[in-house]
Amino acid sequence: MSSEHILLVEDDAVVIHALELQLRNAGYKVVAAGNAAEAIRATVTQQPDLMILDLTLIDGIAVNGLRDGLSMLQWLHRTLPEANFPVIVHTADTSESVDERAQSYGVAGVFRKGEGDAKDLLKAVRKALDQRKPREAA
């Protein structure tokens, strides 16, 4: 059983349920956040090993003037040193500009909702976790 924690940031309850089930069945510990405020709080209290981040985050994204999931990620990296974990963007947006923006924020990958299957997402999660930078000793 894995001891790795995944922070799932998603505002759609159906998607949260499906992803949580897949990740837990694969042995990961999962904390779900439905908006930016919950994601920020979970980053501080849970210190995740990886984040799966929805881009739109309609509910509560106005926290600290944030526009979307990537601006929340930028704020986390600037404000919280403990936010040094890989991020996989999970989005329904198929435009190439999403990939470019995500790359500029240093995400580990972009996974499109409705494309691929659970195995593909789990492979992306494992790859990102295996490539992450080691945490500094406290």
Would you give per-residue pLDDT tens digits along the chain (138 residues)?
Answer: 468 999 999 988 998 999 999 999 999 999 999 888 888 889 989 889 999 999 877 655 555 566 678 888 888 888 887 788 999 998 888 888 888 888 888 889 888 887 777 788 899 999 999 987 665 444
For tokens 């403990």, what's the residue? 82
CATH of the domain at 41: 3.40.50.2300
**What pLDDT is attached to residue 40?**
86
The reply to whether 102 falls in a domain is yes
Count up the domains in the chain and report the number: 1
The reply to whether 137 falls in a domain is no
- Note the residue count of the chain: 138
**What pLDDT is attached to residue 63?**
55
The reply to whether 136 falls in a domain is no
The reply to whether 23 falls in a domain is yes
Q: Give the integer Cα–Cα distance in Å for 4 and 14.
A: 23
